[in-house]
Amino acid sequence: MKNIAVIGAGTMGNGIAHTFAQFDYKVQLIDIHQTSLDKGIATITKNLDRMVAKETISEEDKQRTLKNITTYTSLEEGVEYAGLVVEAATENVDLKLKIFRDLDKFCPEDTILASNTSSISITQIASVTSRPGMVIGMHFMNPVPIMKLVEIIKGYSTSEETFKTVEELSKKLNKVPVEVNDYPGFVANRILMPMINEAIETLYNGVAGVKEIDTVMKLGMAHPMGPLALADFIGLDVCLSILKVMYEGFKNPKYAPCPLLVNMVMAGKLGAKSGEGFYDYSQNRKAEDVSSQFSK
């Protein structure tokens, strides 16, 4: 289990790769785009530099961490020797099913296949492989190097041996693993996303503005970040995808995405990563409410 393949070099993928590499695992970071890999390594380097500046790690630790990561644009080559694969691709069912079909074909028979999915059924993902007992959810929180929680999701056929292996591995990363059953949204997003959606509904109905809603939740509920700022940080497209999975899975209208969220995603206002969401990040600073044009 010293070779860990991570699929996807985006926010979650590079954070997962960073974490494993920092704990001296050999990491194969895989993405179909070399530019994404370059950007991912640049992000890891920047985050390590920040840790060096805070004196939480040494310059030697930083260099060792970076040397532990090798990048690949070929899935087949990247997973050839992996003991564990952690998929952190876009939250899209069809894409994940294709990746897991390929992983089942390319990986050694004893490789555990994990998904960092935040809402999609592990049972469904496992069903397209010939090793459903070795498929599991390993849902890290963002930012991965800092957040302690890992939701470990057991699919219908996930073996106890697979669960225990991933649980112990999570502890070796200085994380706190929590066992969760396989239902849409699991625990974290089943509770978090309706709250974010309700905050968006509150804005949509003109009850208060962006800063006011976030201030109420920060000062009144002791949240470190307001729900609208958090939605921007997560990505409004990701929030929408998770809500859709929950709505389709439960057929309960309480999970239906707010029309404002749908419109903002269609308009390309995805949050921090696109430069604008509920806040304006174009000047690397938060601005006033920019979403009033979508309000009722």
Same domain, 163 and 206: no
Question: What is residue 296's predicted lDDT score, i.e. its pLDDT?
Answer: 46
pLDDT at 285: 54
Number of domains, the chain: 2
**Pair 155, 194 in one domain:** no
CA 278 – CA 101 distance, rounded (Å): 37
Question: What is the domain-level CATH number for residue 42?
Answer: 3.40.50.720
| Residues 120-155 pLDDT 10s | 999 999 999 999 999 999 999 999 999 999 999 999
| 235 assigned ligand-binding residue | no
Whether 296 maps to a domain, the answer reads no
Structural domain ending residue among the three candidates 156, 181, 206: 181
Examine the fold and report which residue of 126, 151, 181 is the final residue of a domain before the chain moves on.
181
User: Global pTM?
Assistant: 0.90
Same domain for 49 and 148? Answer: yes
Residue span of the structural domain in which 285 resides: 189-291
pLDDT per position as a tens digit, 185-228:
999 999 999 999 999 999 999 999 999 999 999 999 999 999 99
Is 76 annotated as contributing to ligand binding?
Answer: no
Q: Is residue 98 domain-shared with residue 223, that is, in the same domain?
A: no
Amino acid identity, residue 56?
T
Which pLDDT value is given to residue 1?
A: 81
Which residues of the chain fall below pLDDT 50?
Answer: 286-287, 294-296
Task: Tell me the C-alpha distance between 107 and 85, whole Å.
Answer: 9
Q: 209 and 146, same structural domain?
A: no
Residue 8 annotated as binding site: yes
218 and 161 both lie in a single domain: no
Residue 82 and residue 131 in one domain: yes
Query: 154 and 199 in one domain?
Result: no
Provide the pLDDT for residue 284. 56
Same domain, 275 and 158: no
* Residue finishing a domain among 115, 148, 181: 181
Q: At a CB cut-off of 8 Å and minimum separation 6, what does 213 contact?
A: 199, 202, 203, 207, 226, 227, 228
On whether 11 is known to bind a ligand per the annotation, the reply is yes
Q: Which residues are catalytic?
A: 118, 139, 151, 189
Which among 217, 202, 272 is positioned nearest to 239, based on CA atoms? Answer: 272
Contact 8, 99 (CB under 8 A): no
Q: Find out whether 83 is annotated in a ligand binding site.
A: no
Q: Are residues 73 and 130 in the same domain?
A: yes
108 and 143 share one domain: yes
In a domain, 164, yes or no: yes
- Report the chain's C-alpha Rg in angstroms: 19
